[in-house]
Amino acid sequence: MNVTEVPALVKTIASLWPNAPTYTEAHLEAFYAVLEPVPSDAVRAALVSLSREGRPFPPNAGELYRRSEDLVAPTPDATAAWAEVIAWVRAHGRMDPPTPESFSHPAVWDALNRCGYGTLCASGADDEKVWFAHFRRCYEAAVTDSRLAEPRAVLGAGAVRAALESIVHRPEDA
């Protein structure tokens, strides 16, 4: 999002939420600082998505950032992430460790590294519930860390376009 698009964004927010505060120059600068790395289409889709929830209060810049990221590259829940890990372990074993590209989200790989891939592979099948509990804690921390880090490269134009088409042009809107 570029700096010239921020005033239109906050004007739209004020239109959608009549109780929105009067945005000052400092607000505009804050919105730009948070949303600058995110494509404009993703921010607009996030705004549409949040407005459809019937929220009583307008979103802040961080909420718009997180929703735009989630719309473009959804973060799997811990159970789905664990299923990816188990599928990889069963298919590849200890001798073929995964890379970040092996999973649907960088946090899955990060959590697996925090848990210890080799140790997981060496453990018995009886330990799977214990490992899942440990993985879930590691995964929650990894997801939080990934949200605090720089935006994922996934927020590229091609991925944004495809994801937004399914959100902005929903059949029930026609």
pLDDT of 72: 79
Q: Within this chain, do residues 85 and 134 fall inside the same structural domain, yes or no? A: yes
d(CA 36, CA 20): 21
Q: Which residue segment(s) compose the domain that 102 sits in?
A: 78-148
pLDDT of 160: 45
Contact 81, 108 (CB under 8 A): yes
Q: Quick check: helix, strand or coil at residue 112?
A: helix
Q: Within this chain, do residues 113 and 55 fall inside the same structural domain, yes or no? A: no
pLDDT of 148: 64
pLDDT of 158: 47
> What tens digit of pLDDT does each residue of 9-31 get?
999 999 999 999 999 999 999 99
**What is the C-alpha R_g of the chain?**
19
> What tens digit of pLDDT does each residue of 38-71 get?
889 999 999 999 999 989 999 999 999 989 988 8
